[in-house]
Structure 1
Amino acid sequence: MKKTIIYSIISLILATLNTLQGQQLHRLKPYELVNRQYIDTQHSEKFAAIQVQDFQGRIKPISTLALELIRKIHGKNSFIYVDKENQKKQLTPIQVFIGMQYKPDSWQLLDFIKIEKKAIPALKDLIKINPSGHVSASQFFDFKGIYKLKSLVSSAYAKPPGKRTIFDKDIIKIDERLNIVWSIFNGQFLKIFPKIDDPDLTWYSPVASEIEFNKDDKHFISKIIPTYFSYLDLGIEKGNWQKANEVIELIKSFQQKNGKAILLSEKKVNTEIWFNKNHIFLWSLIGYTCFGSILMLLCFVRILKKHKSTIQKIIKVVIFLLISVFILHALGIGLRWYISGHAPWSNGYEASIFIAWIGMLAGFIFSKNNSFTPAAAAILAICLLGIAHGSLMNPEITNLVPVLKSYWLLIHVAVITASYGFLALGSLLSLITLLIMCISTLIHKQETENTIQELTNTNQLTSTIGLYLLTIGTFLGGVWANESWGRYWGWDPKETWALISIIIYSFVLHIRIIIPKNYLYI
């Protein structure tokens, strides 16, 4: 029902494109559509600091909300367009977010909505998709305002989730993006107005007209956004952004008066905005990729060459640079902890980030006797951070689900997740050992044996520590399960595979003692 209403309203809005003004907009080039709603950078940064409540109840700066929404819709962290001089320019997420509500008619014509690559061949006859794989919102409707993907979407949703094809899933994603776009156009995400004494501490958007605010607040909410848009006209036409800035301060004052109970401190808001802008984990990934690859190459060169003093000095410098990246990585984890208010290993994205950091920590702990260890740890971090920054994981900071609101998140999850870092490092060291064995004919026999011995010893230490952590973490998980559900063990998939992992690693570590002659090859 809700979707039907949304599509009906979209159709009415798109119908304006058939008017004289709409036809004029159609003739504008993309940069001209951008220019008619271009928001000053300094002003947009002030708007970014306004606090908003998302649909899960988390209070955050609009900067964060804009980044999350634009990433979902566009698949990138900014909107790139070509200006009059054929130069590439970009709009920040907050500029896009403001513009989509201020001039939705322009954004209906801009190729902005991402289409999955595998869905493009099947959809190219229905909608006009640009070479980058993006399409405008207007392309989803014909000249009568009928939704072109209606039958495809209905068919995809009608199937049970387990029987949906990749194309069905892609269609659902595209449909969800279009719904998000409309919700932004309509102001539904702009939940910036708290209500005094609201029992659920809910904030409301200006379109939530059914909510009973007091007379003064209701008048303020109904007038403030239209007033703000009129002052945006003034800013764009005459470069005077003072009035628009004053409106932002009025909104902040309203929030301070009505929503002080859950309002974030200015320090926390500024920290989250800084965190959003600087992409610490992406820079960590780049650092690990550069220095980790160099270190791995130098390690192999060192065992091939007779004169090693110069190479060893370079290795020390590279390890120092890796430590710098490791500190940056730790800073990112600490900031995410501060911003979210809970330990940052509550979902897949955070777990990948944390395991990568633990793997690097293990690499530095055992780096004294062998430089392959931090190099292998860097490769592990590259893999995990690369996965975290892929399209499969959601980097959003979210509120904890009720079962995770426990001190056990800090204890059990930290311990068992840390074990993965040590065990994964052991796996990579094993692969490196096998590789050295394969190229042993190119290396002096003594050098080969020494390196293999060092790697084997280190591997045993990392695997032993990992096994201890995994075992302790599993027992702690049983205690937590008893507190939460009244039973210590339920043979669910997580518990079962934790036990299987403990048995396998126990066998691997003990078989070396049973068969000492083949110690290096186990």
Structure 2
Amino acid sequence: MKNLFKNIIFFLIYSSLLISSDLQIKSDVSLIPVLESGRIKPLESFARNQLILFHGKDYISKKHSYNGEKIEAIDWLINLLMNPNEGLNQNIFFISNWSNSPEVEISLGLDGRESHRYSFFEVIEGFRENQILLDGLKSKPQSEYTNVEKQIVDLYNKVVLFDQLAHSFKCITPEIEIRNVDVIKSLNLKGPTKVSYSFFVNNISLFSPLMAELLEISPENWNDKQKELNKIAMELQNLSQYDYATSLKVVPADSSGSEWLSPWQVMDINSVTAKQAQLIFQLEQFINQYTQMEYNDNQISNYYNILKTFDEEINYSNLNREIYNNKINFFSKSLILYILAFIFLGISWMYKKSIFRKISIVSILFGFILHVVGIIYRMIIMQRPPVSTLYESIIFVGFVLVLIALIYELVKKDSFGLFVAIVGGAILHFVGLKYAADGDTLGMLVAVLNSNFWLSIHVTTITFGYGVSLVSGLMGHVYLFRAFWFGKKDKQLKSIYDNIYGLTLIALFFTLFGTILGGIWADQSWGRFWGWDPKENGALLIVMWHLLVLHLRITGLAKPLDFAFYASLVNIIVVLAWFGVNLLSVGLHSYGFTDNVALNLFVFIAFELIFCTALYVKVKYFTSK
């Protein structure tokens, strides 16, 4: 056991060093800062978010890749930017079947293949052939969309975004071939080569006289030089049609009040500074050499040296931490350890071997450490408490649940706390992974909510209350199941009953205090209390349920079995307050609305009601011992 604690201490020290150290700036394209949704993030994170949006995963498997090898998100994005036509032909769009219905694919005339993945050209052709369908949806109020229609519109928006993304670097990739000796000499080139759209923007003083000369000569009198110039002009015109592709913001603002720019926006030399133009030139050299595997440290250093001269403050240590956080994926590894802990705990119960229980404890402890480290990483990256979005609240409530249950186990050493920690932690990780699959989980807050003080006080308190409430509810499940399996006179029931009571009191304190603080925050931010926001009504339901259960116990109206049954149902109240109010799609807290949450919510409620009621009725009315 001493060795176990030594290993845990070593792991914590190692993790803290990773978090606190000023990580070295990587000489890698992954670190290129990008502005997306109001947040500066590394290009690697941007690539992951986009690939998840289009493909449903943050990588392309061997089965679906163009070269038969697994492709990471950053490699996919760079290849798409440098070779758009290849990327547009890749089966990247995943069309999920809501309720196993292939209606979206049928509506667009797609072949309904097993993988449900299609290329840009296949999807866009489907929309072209069904333009009437799309026009009809555009004229229809969004509130009247069916689930299939929502998916069709969502797919169309993804196609538009993908098209923009694919052509974002079209102006800085070598697209125009120059072979005529006279043109080469006039443009000060060393020999036949390919140049980019930006080359002509940056060398407009050399190119303009050539075009003026061309316009003075009738086409039938053009020589080889003029024919080449005409070809260049036509190619430039063709390239200019992609100037709408401005979604990839990689050029920082260079003055107060200015905005980040995309490469295409930098092509407007009248609206950019010399520093921004210089940066995009270095980026062009950097990207081209990177894809050709010919880049060197000097080229990379030049790019980052220019970046550092901008007024915009970019925290490269945090960008590195975000890349590291993406690659390690703390919560997925924590989930694996929770599952292992559950397996070994089950084996220990079947074979009565203490060694398996110890292995289960080690697994849950290391899983919990990864859980904590993952939360700390998010706090450092975002510079705020990790409870601001639905995804973050799931992860944090999972942390609270496991923490409280492990403390219970440390005191009681009866494996009940261990069981609750494992099951509750694993379930919430599974739910969290579902929301993580929606894209960026490190989103920015609206300004009025971006208050570290109130986030730390109100949201942390209320989510802590959620976590303790779930522990008390799960302990109620343990009581009911044990009474069902071992009978009403089982010696462990008294201890479990007392602890459910204590946990309910703690949960009441945090949920009541958190709800009151929420009203104070609203009054200070908007000049009024919630008045009432649906989310606060949901939180109040939890408080009222705890009060009801406690009053039933204190007045003697609820015996231990009844009290455990009512306590077990608090899970339903918590989930309704946590997820259910988002189905209303109104209020300041409606941040988590998804089409499938209603079905999942109803399934959960039905299961809980049937499971808990069945155990309660069986024990109360059909168990004599």
1:231 corresponds to which residue?
289
Question: 3-state SS of the aligned residue for 1:52?
Answer: strand
| Gap change, CA 1:500 and 1:452, over 3 Å in 2 | same
Any conservation in 2 of the 1:195–1:213 contact (CA below 8 Å)?
no
**Alignment of 1:179 onto 2:160:** yes
Using the TM superposition, give the Cα deviation of residue 282 of structure 1 relative to its aligned residue in structure 2, in angstroms.
Answer: 1.1
1:216 corresponds to which residue?
274
| Gap change, CA 1:212 and 1:288, over 3 Å in 2 | farther
2:257 corresponds to which residue?
199
Which one of the candidate residues 55, 62, 73 is aligned to 2:43? 62
1:283 corresponds to which residue?
333
Range with bigger deviation, 344-353 or 132-141: 132-141
Using the TM superposition, give the Cα deviation of residue 451 of structure 1 relative to its aligned residue in structure 2, in angstroms.
Answer: 2.0
Range with bigger deviation, 487-496 or 364-373: 487-496
Using the TM superposition, give the Cα deviation of residue 219 of structure 1 relative to its aligned residue in structure 2, in angstroms.
Answer: 4.4
Using the TM superposition, give the Cα deviation of residue 414 of structure 1 relative to its aligned residue in structure 2, in angstroms.
Answer: 0.2
| Gap change, CA 1:177 and 1:450, over 3 Å in 2 | same
Over the aligned positions, Cα root-mean-square deviation in angstroms equals: 2.8
Which one of the candidate residues 190, 194, 202 is aligned to 2:248? 190
Any conservation in 1 of the 2:289–2:295 contact (CA below 8 Å)?
yes
Q: How does 1:393-404 map to 2 (within 5 A)?
A: 394-404=439-449
Any conservation in 1 of the 2:251–2:276 contact (CA below 8 Å)?
no
2:28 corresponds to which residue?
46
Give the greater-gyration-radius structure (CA): 2
The separation in 2 between residues aligned to 1:400 and 1:233, in whole angstroms, is 36
2:57 corresponds to which residue?
76
Which one of the candidate residues 113, 116, 140 is aligned to 2:93? 113
Letter in 2 for 1:275: N
Letter in 2 for 1:279: N
**Alignment of 1:316 onto 2:358:** yes
The separation in 2 between residues aligned to 1:46 and 1:277, in whole angstroms, is 15
1:328 corresponds to which residue?
370
| Gap change, CA 1:87 and 1:189, over 3 Å in 2 | closer
Which one of the candidate residues 539, 544, 550 is aligned to 1:498? 539
Q: How does 1:387-466 map to 2 (within 5 A)?
A: 387-390=431-434, 394-406=439-451, 407-440=453-486, 449-466=490-507
The separation in 2 between residues aligned to 1:96 and 1:508, in whole angstroms, is 55
Using the TM superposition, give the Cα deviation of residue 203 of structure 1 relative to its aligned residue in structure 2, in angstroms.
Answer: 1.4
| Gap change, CA 1:517 and 1:234, over 3 Å in 2 | closer
2:392 corresponds to which residue?
350
The separation in 2 between residues aligned to 1:438 and 1:172, in whole angstroms, is 50
Letter in 1 for 2:456: L
Which one of the candidate residues 552, 555, 573 is aligned to 1:511? 552
The separation in 2 between residues aligned to 1:294 and 1:459, in whole angstroms, is 26
User: How many residues get paired?
Assistant: 453
Letter in 1 for 2:483: M
Range with bigger deviation, 223-232 or 191-200: 223-232
| Gap change, CA 1:81 and 1:378, over 3 Å in 2 | same
Using the TM superposition, give the Cα deviation of residue 321 of structure 1 relative to its aligned residue in structure 2, in angstroms.
Answer: 2.2
Using the TM superposition, give the Cα deviation of residue 247 of structure 1 relative to its aligned residue in structure 2, in angstroms.
Answer: 4.2
The separation in 2 between residues aligned to 1:404 and 1:281, in whole angstroms, is 26
**Alignment of 1:253 onto 2:305:** yes
Using the TM superposition, give the Cα deviation of residue 254 of structure 1 relative to its aligned residue in structure 2, in angstroms.
Answer: 2.3
| Gap change, CA 1:218 and 1:481, over 3 Å in 2 | closer
1:271 corresponds to which residue?
321
Q: How does 1:300-311 map to 2 (within 5 A)?
A: 301=350, 311=353
The separation in 2 between residues aligned to 1:331 and 1:229, in whole angstroms, is 34
| Gap change, CA 1:351 and 1:153, over 3 Å in 2 | farther
| Gap change, CA 1:461 and 1:157, over 3 Å in 2 | farther
The separation in 2 between residues aligned to 1:377 and 1:501, in whole angstroms, is 21
Using the TM superposition, give the Cα deviation of residue 312 of structure 1 relative to its aligned residue in structure 2, in angstroms.
Answer: 4.1
Question: 3-state SS of the aligned residue for 2:353?
Answer: helix
Using the TM superposition, give the Cα deviation of residue 229 of structure 1 relative to its aligned residue in structure 2, in angstroms.
Answer: 5.3
Any conservation in 2 of the 1:101–1:186 contact (CA below 8 Å)?
yes
Gaps of 5+ in 2: 1-25, 169-245, 564-625
Using the TM superposition, give the Cα deviation of residue 228 of structure 1 relative to its aligned residue in structure 2, in angstroms.
Answer: 4.4
| Gap change, CA 1:281 and 1:215, over 3 Å in 2 | closer
Letter in 2 for 1:429: M
Letter in 2 for 1:311: K
Range with bigger deviation, 380-389 or 248-257: 248-257
The separation in 1 between residues aligned to 2:546 and 2:485, in whole angstroms, is 27
Any conservation in 1 of the 2:93–2:117 contact (CA below 8 Å)?
yes
Which one of the candidate residues 515, 533, 543 is aligned to 1:474? 515
Q: How does 1:7-26 map to 2 (within 5 A)?
A: none
* TM-score with structure 1 setting the length: 0.80
1:21 corresponds to which residue?
none
The separation in 2 between residues aligned to 1:357 and 1:167, in whole angstroms, is 36
| Gap change, CA 1:82 and 1:352, over 3 Å in 2 | closer
Gaps of 5+ in 1: 1-43, 303-309
The separation in 2 between residues aligned to 1:500 and 1:390, in whole angstroms, is 26
The separation in 2 between residues aligned to 1:51 and 1:311, in whole angstroms, is 53
